[in-house]
Structure 1
Amino acid sequence: MSHSVPTKVLVIGYVWPEPRSSAASGHVMQILEAFLEQGWDITFSSPAGPGEHKADLTALGIREVPIELNNSSFDTFISELAPDIVLFDQFMMEEQFGWRVEKHCPDALRILETSDLQSLRHARHQRLKDRLKINDEQTDFTELFAPALHEEFQLMASTDLAKREIAALYRCDLNLMISEVEIDLLVEEFGLPRQILHWCPLMIDLPDTTAPGFEERAHFLSIGNFRHAPNWDAVLWMKTTLWPLIRARLPRAQLHIYGAYTPPKATALHNPAQGFHIMDWAEDALEVMSAARVCLAPLRFGAGIKGKLVDAMLCGTPSVTTPIGAEAMHGDAPWPGAVALDANTFAEQAVQLYEDPARWQQAQIQASALLQQRYQRSVHGPRLINRIDDCRQHLAQLRNDNFTGAMLRHHTLKSTQYMAQWIEAKNQLNPTER
């Protein structure tokens, strides 16, 4: 789509991006880079404070503007900016700011970057908690790992979170989905129109260097932001069940666990005598991943796709995970490592990969093929831009075809608007309570 002036994009972030701390931030950065390649004029705003590992967006030519929740100063800001496209990073930002965007920039294309379906992740977490309450046996979780889409829908449908999240998806003109499984769930079970959903996985450049080989590597590795509940649960499962099983077979093996925002409860698990090392944040995740022989990702719940497992493929590091970890990541291709449904199989597969150079080498080759097949930036970047351009050209028709979205905007946003205005008025009367 050619314009005499650059397309103006406003991104409203739940947090300031920290691509070295989380895959969700990494995905946001990949989307921003696709926009920058078009010469688009980008402003990034967030009501959050800057985190410890915040990316320097200004160095990329992106303006950074802090904003406030429940404050009409945003109305002035967006009216003056007059963006052509507004991207909400996570549905809570659409809830907070969507009605203001619609009121002041009704013709701006509204896009939601979901990262993962939070209501699906939370429902799966609840299912795990319920299972552990009934039976705290820690080895076999087969029943959690292969539910049909309708079972997932039944888990989610009664929750407030799903109602909020699905409503936000309906209210947007386009929703970026990182997982094809989640697209199928939304279309087949929740009835969303497929034309408002776009598959946009992690987008990477293929490595141009040869990954280190089997003999050059040592140790097991696990990595992930400790603030993300599925990662913390995986660390606990490794500590109590999986690592003792692996260590019984490989008495000298070491497990190095890296993650941003390491809490004291994680540091307390550090035990060099058991080969169990809590390593804190990795300055360069790809460097530590490339030095490891096998990546462990024993996720018992979660959603979306897993940045750590794409990193493992990039580094040619075979991984052992669960069906939750591998979900929506490999299509019909073989997994570059192993997918296990229970603790004993997980440990067995981890040991085999660690000790068998031929099997390890085969997994490394499969990783390279999978990256090429599914995750190339050169494929998904242009596809995203084309989809956005098409939505902008047919915006009136797109909105007309999405009557449920229009209805939800009419009703929900009025209530959100009045609640926000009430909070703002209350804050002005009682500034000390803010």
Structure 2
Amino acid sequence: MALLGHIDHLSRQHIVGWAWNPDVPGVPVSLVISVDGRVIGRCLADRHRLDLVAEGIGDGRHGFEFRPPEYMISRLARSEIAVRREGDSAHLPTSPRMLDPVTVFDADLEGRLAQLIVEVEDDADLDRRLGFLTEQTQRLRQVRADRQRRPASAAFVRPRALVVDTVMPVHRRDAGSNAILSHMRSLQRLGYAVSFAPTDLTGDAAALEADGIACCLHPWYATIEEVLRRNAGAFALVYLHRVDTAGRYSQLVRDTQRGARLVYSIADLHHLRTARQAEIEDRADLAAYAEHLRFLELTAARAADVVITHSTHEATLLRRHVPAEQVHVVPWAVAPRPTAVPFADRRGLAFIGGYGHRPNIDAARFLIEAVMPAVSFEPAIPCLLVGSGMPESLRTLAAARLGVEAIGQVAELACVFDRVRLTVAPLAYGAGVKGKVVDSLAAGVPCVCTPAAAEGLDLPEPLAGLIAETAADLARSITALHEDEALNRACSEAGLAYVTDRLNEKRIDSLIGTATGRPRVVEPVSEKP
């Protein structure tokens, strides 16, 4: 018996074609589909197709379509697909056809592997599968690390820098985030290919990766140790931010990144802040803890090639224990964003800080209970408390004081700077450079500071004249700055000039370059024709 036909489309999910017996033209052909000699299904060639009508093949009702049962055709092996007529097993013309193994890791292959993984026979089989998958996972992780190690182009090789911090930085969330983001961008401009790893290996990496910073996260890495070992010898520079990070990983960096420049960025000296708190609160336990922190911080500093601090005061302290040439003062870049709201349309003052930080809570209480009562205005000028993590006890205290308003966290500080004539930072103790003081100056809003809040900034006149320590002196500075438009303008201009001159990207790049050693970007020597 004659058999005409064709396999038009063949895949593991879909087989389409036509079959016709001209000896019995009105009878649909029954077909058997097999894979490597094993029958997987049957179908009738009875679908109407206009192309068959146009070609004059019977009445056109000779098409067939078959969808193989899921996973019946192996994706990992080469398979022979046969379409035969039922009864005499005659092959359809173009049958059999071969399907090559799948080399693409698509959703179908994922599904098949997932099914194989869970179909466990016994504990021994489970152990064997776990062992195999663990081994393959380790291989893939290493492949990924190796791919990141390779330069994007053989014509342009950039040295790699790894930056490690305790958390994923978020733009404008806090001073620590702003500092680390600024320094990473400087490293990029200096020619480094920058990678970042938070110690918990979690977080939203979208913003960093959009800026060209590769992130080392779960599930690609399980620990910072794995990041360093899988990339052994890959980094020319490793930047460890904060003492927790430097204390845990400095030696591991030395072991895995031979020849790399090790940078310890202190953020601020924790032992200094804790010792000051211990003195104010007369607490022997805190004083002992401060000594412990001092040991950890100085040990980390001595282990590094370079120590970065934002504060000139802390640089002086560190140079008593570490070679002076290893200690570098490097602030972070801040762009001037002066408020456009005129002085006459603004009123009051603001205290800005994160209230998860104990010195800020103490400062807010001091402001409410001691400073603002000494500021005599009728009616009372607004005093805004701004920042995240404000405890209920502080909100209650603010509500009981005329003119004090607990705002809490705001999306953008610009909305605060557009309301007030000045900010205040009445910290009794602390360490490092205070980010919100810098933010206020960048907005053209002068800041009345205690010596602790202004420490390490080296503020010029007339800004230095706003520094006061007692409640009465702080109140006098607040009053003068709030009522004297000329003084306010002079301080505003001085603050903007300070930010423009000292915190611009070009200067930060120069300071980072001096501290870290400018990388040598390797470019090919052009060949003469």
Q: Same fold (TM over 0.5)?
A: yes
Indicate the residue corresponding to 1:120 in structure 2: 272
Q: Specify the SS of the correspondent of 1:161.
A: helix
TM-score by length of 2: 0.63
User: Which stretches in structure 2 are left out of the alignment for 5+ residues?
Assistant: 1-154, 522-529
TM-score by length of 1: 0.76
Q: Specify the SS of the correspondent of 1:350.
A: helix
Q: Post-superposition shift, 1:156?
A: 9.1
Amino acid in structure 1 at the alignment position of 2:187: F
Indicate the residue corresponding to 2:304 in structure 1: 172
Q: Post-superposition shift, 1:264?
A: 3.0
CA-to-aligned-CA distance 1:172-202 (integer Å, 9 cap, x gap): 11111111111111223xx310111111023
Q: Kindly, what percent of the aligned residue pairs are identical?
A: 24
Indicate the residue corresponding to 1:216 in structure 2: 345
1:250–1:351 Cα contact (<8 Å) kept: no
2:335–2:500 Cα contact (<8 Å) kept: no
Separation in 2, partners of 1:386, 1:76: 30
Paired residue total: 362
Q: Specify the SS of the correspondent of 1:274.
A: coil
User: Which stretches in structure 1 are left out of the alignment for 5+ residues?
Assistant: 134-154, 394-434
Q: Specify the SS of the correspondent of 1:159.
A: helix
CA-to-aligned-CA distance 1:18-44 (integer Å, 9 cap, x gap): 342311211111101112223422221
CA-to-aligned-CA distance 1:80-110 (integer Å, 9 cap, x gap): 3222211111011011112221111122211
Indicate the residue corresponding to 2:499 in structure 1: 371
Separation in 2, partners of 1:263, 1:273: 16
Amino acid in structure 1 at the alignment position of 2:420: A
Indicate the residue corresponding to 1:199 in structure 2: 329
Listed as ranges, the matches of 1:90-169 within 5 Å are 90-130=242-282, 159-169=291-301
Indicate the residue corresponding to 1:231 in structure 2: 360
Indicate the residue corresponding to 1:429 in structure 2: none
1:84–1:109 Cα contact (<8 Å) kept: yes
Indicate the residue corresponding to 1:88 in structure 2: 240
CA-to-aligned-CA distance 1:252-311 (integer Å, 9 cap, x gap): 311111112333333333417622111111211233223311101101101111111111
Are 1:349 and 2:349 counterparts? no
Indicate the residue corresponding to 1:183 in structure 2: 315
1:206–1:371 Cα contact (<8 Å) kept: yes
Indicate the residue corresponding to 1:308 in structure 2: 436
Separation in 2, partners of 1:49, 1:243: 44
1:67–1:74 Cα contact (<8 Å) kept: no
CA-to-aligned-CA distance 1:382-420 (integer Å, 9 cap, x gap): 231243125999xxxxxxxxxxxxxxxxxxxxxxxxxxx
Range with greater deviation from structure 2 (106-115 or 323-332): 323-332
1:269–1:278 Cα contact (<8 Å) kept: no
Separation in 1, partners of 2:336, 2:309: 22
Q: Specify the SS of the correspondent of 1:221.
A: strand
Amino acid in structure 2 at the alignment position of 1:275: G
Indicate the residue corresponding to 2:517 in structure 1: 389
Q: Specify the SS of the correspondent of 1:17.
A: coil
Are 1:22 and 2:150 counterparts? no
2:275–2:290 Cα contact (<8 Å) kept: no
1:336–1:367 Cα contact (<8 Å) kept: no
Q: Specify the SS of the correspondent of 1:222.
A: strand
1:75 aligned to 219, 225, 232, which one? 225
Q: Give the structure with higher Rg (CA).
A: 2
Amino acid in structure 1 at the alignment position of 2:207: D
1:45–1:67 Cα contact (<8 Å) kept: no
